[in-house]
Structure 1
Amino acid sequence: MKLTPHFTLAELTRSTTAERLRLDNTPPADVIRALQTTAEMLERIRDTLGAPVIVTSGYRSPEVNRAVGGATSSDHMAGQAADILAPSFGTPYLIASTLAPLVSTLRIEQLILEGVKGKQWVHVSTRRPAKVINRIITITDAGARAGIHALA
């Protein structure tokens, strides 16, 4: 099922962890509506970057979220977040630093540059965090910092 011209429901619900552990990762109807909004945000990001966006993690059922060690309040479980890469555009740092000044224009409610356990990606969400300081952050093994910062 196509959600937008470049993003499908299958793409936003694919999980290698779910496949490996044989966990159901089928979203309920209300989450599919949220995934539509997330896909629309991803289209705006794709247009801005002028490059294809790869979703490495979208919707996660509560069981899948637990299996990957996700936060208990993860926006992924509500279909409101995606972890992305855009290799033909550049590094996750370049993606996040390009998007950061445009979050309001692109209707990205949270932007996180993540560099954890040797992996790097950009997390985007359609849900604004309760604390404004958490809207644009960088998370590394050393912790979280406001703003987008170069990763080691």
Structure 2
Amino acid sequence: MKLSPHFSLAELTNSTTAQRLGLDNTPAPELLPRLVLAAEMLERIRTVLGVPITVTSGYRAPAVNRAVGGVTSSDHTQGHAVDIIAPGYGTPYLVASLLAPLVSTLGIGQLILEGVKGKQWVHVSTRSPEKFANRIITITDAGARTGIQVLS
């Protein structure tokens, strides 16, 4: 099922962790409109980047979210969030740096540059956090910092 011209439900629900552990990662029907909004946000991001986007994590059923070590309040479990990379554009730092001044224009509620356990990606959500300071942040093994920071 296509959610937008370039993103499908299968792509936004694919989980190697769910497959490996035999967990169901099917979203409830009431979450589909949120996944459509997430796909539409990804389309806008794709247009700005000018290259394809790879979804590394989208919707996560609660059991899948626990298995990957996600926080219980994760936007992934509600169909709001997607983790992406865009190798054709550059590093996650470069992607996040381009997107940061455009979050409102692109309909990004939260932008997180993540560099944890040797991996890097960009987390985008359609839902804005309660604390405005958490709207654009960088998370590393050392903790969270406001804004997009250079990753080591």
Shorter-chain TM-score bucket reads over 0.9
RMSD of aligned residue pairs (Cα, Å)? 0.3
Report deviation, 1:47: 0.2
Q: TM-score, normalised by structure 1?
A: 0.99
Alignment-derived partner of residue 23 in structure 1: 23
Alignment-derived partner of residue 34 in structure 1: 34
Q: How far apart are the structure 2 equivalents of 1:135 and 1:95?
A: 16
Alignment-derived partner of residue 46 in structure 2: 46
The one-letter amino acid paired with 1:52 is P
Alignment-derived partner of residue 119 in structure 2: 119
Indicate the SS of the match to 1:4: coil
The one-letter amino acid paired with 2:150 is A
Q: How far apart are the structure 1 equivalents of 2:128 and 2:141?
A: 23
The one-letter amino acid paired with 1:134 is N
Query: Tell me, which stretches of 5 or more residues in structure 1 are unaligned?
Result: none
Query: Tell me, which stretches of 5 or more residues in structure 2 are unaligned?
Result: none
Indicate the SS of the match to 1:115: strand
Alignment-derived partner of residue 151 in structure 2: 151
Q: How far apart are the structure 2 equivalents of 1:89 and 1:32?
A: 29
Indicate the SS of the match to 1:120: strand
Alignment-derived partner of residue 60 in structure 2: 60
Q: How far apart are the structure 1 equivalents of 2:53 and 2:137?
A: 20
Alignment-derived partner of residue 97 in structure 1: 97
Q: How far apart are the structure 1 equivalents of 2:53 and 2:23?
A: 26
Report deviation, 1:31: 1.1
Q: Any residues of structure 2 matched to 1:71-90 within 5 Å, and which?
A: 71-90=71-90
Report deviation, 1:33: 1.1
Report deviation, 1:54: 0.4
Q: TM-score, normalised by structure 2?
A: 0.99
Alignment-derived partner of residue 137 in structure 1: 137
Q: Percent sequence identity over matched residues?
A: 72
Report deviation, 1:16: 0.1
Q: How far apart are the structure 2 equivalents of 1:48 and 1:29?
A: 30
The one-letter amino acid paired with 1:84 is I
Aligned residues: 152
